[in-house]
Amino acid sequence: MAKHKKKSIQRPKALPPKGFRDYFGGEVDERNLMLAKISEVYHRYGFDPLESSGVEMVEALGKFLPDVDRPNEGVFAWQDEDDSWIALRYDLTAPLARVYAQHRNELPSPYRRYAMGPVWRNEKPGPGRYRQFYQCDADTVGTASMAADAEVCAMLSDCLEAVGIERGDYIVRVNNRKVLNGVMEVSGLSGDDKVIARGIVLRAIDKLDRLGVDGVRSLLGAGRRDPSGDFTEGAGLDSTSVDVVMGFIDAKRGTTAATCARLRELVAESEVGMEGVDELEQIGSLLVAQGYGSDRIDIDPSIVRGLGYYTGPVYEAELTFEISDEKGRKRQFGSVAGGGRYDDLVKRFTGQEVPATGVSIGVDRLLAALREKKHLNAKARGPVVVTVMDRNRLGDYQSMVSELRDSGIRAEMYLGNPKNFGNQLKYADKRESPVAVIEGGDEKERGVVQIKDLALGARLASEIETSEEWKNQPAQKEILRHDLVAEVKVMIARAEG
C-alpha cells in the first residue's frame, strides 16, 4: 500500500520587510530619553504637542515629494473600500497642514505645535536608510513674521545643546528661497517652462559638498559625467548665468551684513530676491538680540533644502565634528535637521494663503551622532531580579519586588522554572540586571537576604581564579531583610558610577 506524502508546511520567514527594522529595549530607551529632552525645549518655547493620524488621504499629501510626478509615488498607498486612496504619512508637515485647515476656527492663531513619531517612505532602502524612521517637528502656523523663523532657529540650537551636542560641534545655517528665486530670475530661469531646469539647479547646489565647485558648475551647464561613465543632464545655463548661480553659492562673507550686501549685488534686478535679503537681515538681527551669534546660527547662501514647498527662509543644522567612515576616512558628521517657511501648503485646503514655518529633526541621525560623541549608554540597565528559591513562597518574593518598585527601582521576579538556580542568574545576566536578590529558607528564618552585584561580579570573574577567592569577593553580601531597598540602591549607584 502506497504511503501518502505529508504536505510540507510553508512557514513564513521570520524577517521584517525590506527596508524596515526592529528596535529593542536600549535603543528605544535612548530615543525616548532624547525626545523627552527635545520636547522639554519645545514646551519651554510655548509649543503644544499634536498627535495626528499615521494615515492620510493621498491628495492631502500633495505633490511635494522629492523627484516624483504623481502624489502616490514614494508613499505606501492603497485604495480604501470607498475607492479613495489613502497612504501612510510621508512626513509630519503635510498632516499638520490638513489638521490646521480642518480645525482652524478652534485653534489659536498663530498655532504652535510639535509632533514626534514614525513616517514612511516607499523609496529604495540602503545602508542606514530605512523606509520607516522617526521625525521630530516643531512648526508655527499663521504668522508671516520673521520672528517666528528666528525663533525656530534658536529653538533648534537649544535642542541640540539640550541633548548633548556641545557648542562648537554644530552650526545652524540659514538661507532664503526668495533670494535663490531672485538668482533664478536674474539667470533667466523664471516661468513655468523652466520648472525642470530650476529643479536641476536646486539639486546641483544641494550636492556642493559631495561634488565640489567643478561638479556643480557642470550640472548647471551642459551636464556631468561621473567616474563610472554615467551622465547627468545639466540645467543648460550659459556661462554668464552659471557665474551668477555660483556667485550666489559663494556669497558667504565674514559677517551677516557683508553676506547680505553681496547677495544684494547678485539679485539687484529682482524684487523677490531683494525681499529675501531683507528677511535674512531681519532674522540675523533678531538672533543677535536673543544672544545667538554666528558661532551657533549663521547666514549661509549654500543651503537650499530639497523640498519644493519652501517659500522663504530655510534652515539646516549641521554637526561639524569629525567621524571616520566605513573606509576609515575622516569626514564631518553632516546634517541632522532642517526646515523652512512654507506659506502655500495650507492654501491647498483653504484657498487662502496661510503663512507657516517649522523644522524637522532626523531622530535616527541625531541618535547616531550622540553615540559617536559617547553621550548615550548603548546598554541600558535592566531590572533588579528577585530569584525564586522556594516556589511555595512566591508571595514573599513578589513582596520584595513591590517594595523595590515602590521606591522607584526597576524590578521583577523570576518567572521561569526556578529548579535550576544557575539559569536564573544567566537570565539576570542576559537582562543586563545590576543586582540579583536571593532568599532561601535559611535566610528567611534569619531575617536576611543575599544581594549579588552582577555588574561587579562580571568584572571580578575574569580576575578570580580559586573558589576561596570567590567566596571572599565583595560582589555578594548578606543584609538584613528590612535594609533591602537601601542596600540595592547603593549597589545600583556603584554600578552606574
pLDDT of 326: 64
**318-328 tens-digit pLDDT:** 999 877 766 66
Compute the mean pLDDT over every residue in the chain, rounded to the nearest whole number: 87
Q: How confident is the model at residue 70 (pLDDT cuts 50, 70, 90)?
A: very low
Of 154-158, 185-189, 336-340, 360-364, where does mean pLDDT reach its minimum?
Answer: 185-189
Q: How confident is the model at residue 42 (pLDDT cuts 50, 70, 90)?
A: very high
Instruction: Give the C-alpha separation, 173 to 336, whole Å.
Output: 12
**283 vs 185 pLDDT, higher one:** 283
Q: Which residues pair with 176 in a beta bridge?
A: 313
pLDDT of 187: 83
Give the CATH number of domain 384-496; options: 3.40.50.1970, 3.60.10.10, 3.40.50.800, 3.90.1150.10: 3.40.50.800
pLDDT of 205: 79
The contacts found for 40-48 with CB under 8 angstroms, 24 or more apart, are 40/162, 41/155, 41/158, 41/159, 41/162, 42/114, 42/138, 42/155, 42/159, 44/158, 45/112, 45/138, 45/151, 45/155, 46/112, 47/112, 47/113, 47/114, 47/138, 48/112, 48/113, 48/114
**211 vs 120 pLDDT, higher one:** 120
State the pTM of this model: 0.81
**398-429 tens-digit pLDDT:** 999 999 999 999 999 999 998 888 899 999 99
Q: Average pLDDT of 319-338?
A: 79
Instruction: Give the C-alpha separation, 346 to 343, whole Å.
Output: 7
